Structure 1
Amino acid sequence: MRCDGLVAVVTGGGSGIGRACVEALLAAGARVGVLDLDPAGAPTDPRVHPVRADVADRASLAAAVASVADAYGGIDILVNNAGISAVGTVEDNDDAQWARVLDVNVTGIARTTAVTLPHLRRSRAAAIVNMSSIAAGAGLPRRVLYSASKGAVHAMTLALAADLVGEGIRVNCVAPGTVDTPWVARLLADADDPVAEKIRLAARQPTGRLVTAPEVAAAVVYLASPDSGAVTGTSLAVDCGLYGLRLAPPSRPD
């Protein structure tokens, strides 16, 4: 899948899945604006335009998006990747945590999309790819707040796709399973036994391993590329089979 000559914006592109998306888009022929609270983690490449931006601040986003459009002459692809996590039951997360996670994970996508749309409307290959999660459709323990935010991302993706299809702007999302990133590593560090917790997370996915960031990025490039021009309003699971497979339990040894 190619993105030759196109300009992409990736939020949260300075590390983890976001950086993997930047690298994959570069390999596909795109130029990339990296929007991040700390864009210093972006790849060092003349085709990369790093800009500090906060998805919780509309003015910050508008300035950053305008900077990318000025640098490269427009914007064709938006990857709404920036997000934060939350762990706990419905009794564990207070009102401030709910407000913060929903503001970043949900309203942050709405803000970024709104300020980027004027540029996307001038593109002949406009595409938006949102980062959802398998948690949007699979009940995972102690992920109530995070799951609620990603369920909203899934629903927003479908509604945006319906609103924008007549303008030739495709909107899709990727729903990763548990991805081996620094973000997950920080969550594991808070566990009583990080090694055992990582083994448990890997074991709950049918392939028996965690998803890699480049695997998620490959799905993003597929949905962003004009080669997938017939794909809109879709959620693409990259989850080692977690959501769709129901495997029989292993047989007991005799």
Structure 2
Amino acid sequence: MNKPTPDSRLAVVTGGLGGLGIEICRQLAQAGRRVVALDLTSRAERIDAFRQTLAEFGDAVAFEPVDVSDYEACAATVARIESSHGGIDVLVNAAGITRDASLRKMTPQQWQDLLRVNLDGVFNMSRPVVEGMCARGFGRIVNISSVNGQTGQFGQTNYSAAKAGVHGFSMALARETARKGVTVNTVSPGYCDTPMVAAVPEDVRAQIVAGIPVGRLGAPADIARAVVFLAADDAGYITGANLPVNGGYFMSF
């Protein structure tokens, strides 16, 4: 483990209090990054759990509240972080929600709420950080998509559309920033052992696991490992790529 120092690169993780987010923050800190986790403040117990879980890293890991669906709030948060901690070197867009319903029953509100967080949130955070990354000649942006953005899923037209859009965004931005030392990539998790999947009925979860060749749900550590790999200093020749981490649930090239 490389302990973060005051001179270490700075990573920002949206959805940092979530099942995947906390582990991403932990592994980035273990890799020697200073980390700022961003998330909503609606549940104080989640913030306390985050701080206790990552207490070993002390001041090298911090929390900032933000609603990623609000562009002005994101821009202000980025400015505040850069003023307090320095330039942002790594951005991980992991914030996401679900609002499942078949399209025949989906309300405009369910569509709009999800797109504002899962897709607009990627723009809202990337836009204020990318210029500084390009100016400094280094940056790593890793966007969390989903296997369901590749395959589609019943009852998730909103989620699948947003997650497919995340990778389209990543490829386009990768082309814009490649000559500036900034890479932009996507990680597409399969079904993982997180509270979001735990909420799925047990019989449905059993069917999901039966369809995963490795025979288990993913662990948050599986996803975080892929993020840390793409965020590494020496990963500069990988950009515009999608790294699927799904246990073989969906295979393509």
- Per-residue CA deviation, residues 225-253 of structure 1 (Å, 9 max, x unaligned), is 112111000000000001117xxxxxxxx
Which of 223, 240, 251 aligns to 1:233? It is: 240
| Separation of aligned partners in 2, 1:141 and 1:26 | 37
1:129 is paired with a residue whose SS is strand
Contact 2:138 2:180 in 1 (8 A): no
Deviating more after overlay: 30-39 vs 167-176: 30-39
Match of 1:46 in 2: 59
Give, in whole Å, the separation in 1 of the partners of 2:73 and 2:109: 22
Residue in structure 2 matched with residue 22 of structure 1 by the alignment: 25
How many residue pairs align between the two structures?
Answer: 239
Structure 2 counterparts to residues 1-254 of structure 1, below 5 A: 5-38=8-41, 40=47, 41-42=49-50, 43-44=54-55, 45-186=58-199, 188=200, 194-244=201-251
Opposite residue 21 of structure 2, the aligned amino acid is G
For residue 226 of structure 1, give the secondary structure of its aligned residue in structure 2. coil
Q: Once the 2 structures are TM-superposed, how far is the Cα of residue 48 of structure 1 from its aligned partner? A: 1.1
Tell me if structure 2 keeps the 8 A contact 1:133–1:174.
Answer: yes
* SS of 2:234 mapped into structure 1: helix
**SS state at 2:184 partner:** strand
Quote the offset at 1:3 in angstroms: 9.9
Query: What SS does the aligned partner of 2:243 have?
Result: strand
Q: Distance in 1 between matches of 2:159 and 2:243?
A: 18
Larger radius of gyration: 1
For residues 171 and 86 of structure 1, what CA distance do their matches in structure 2 show? 27
The TM-score, its normalising length taken from structure 1, stands at 0.88
What are the ranges of 5 or more consecutive residues in structure 2 without an aligned counterpart?
none
TM-score (norm 2): 0.89
Q: Distance in 1 between matches of 2:239 and 2:131?
A: 19
Q: Distance in 1 between matches of 2:220 and 2:82?
A: 27
Alignment check: 8 A CA contact 1:2 1:227 kept: no
Give yes or no for contact 2:134–2:177 (8 Å, CA) kept in 1: no
CA pair 122-48 structure 1, distance change in 2 beyond 3 A: farther
Deviation readout 1:99-142 (Å, 9 max, x if unpaired): 11111111110011011123323444311000001111113222
Amino acid corresponding to residue 109 of structure 2 in structure 1: A
RMSD: 1.9
Q: CA deviation at 1:201?
A: 1.8
Q: CA deviation at 1:9?
A: 0.4
1:156-183 Cα deviation digits (max 9, x unpaired): 1111111111222100000000111112
Q: Which amino acid aligns with 1:25?
A: L
SS in 2 for 1:202: helix
- Inter-partner Cα distance in structure 1 for 2:137 and 2:29: 19
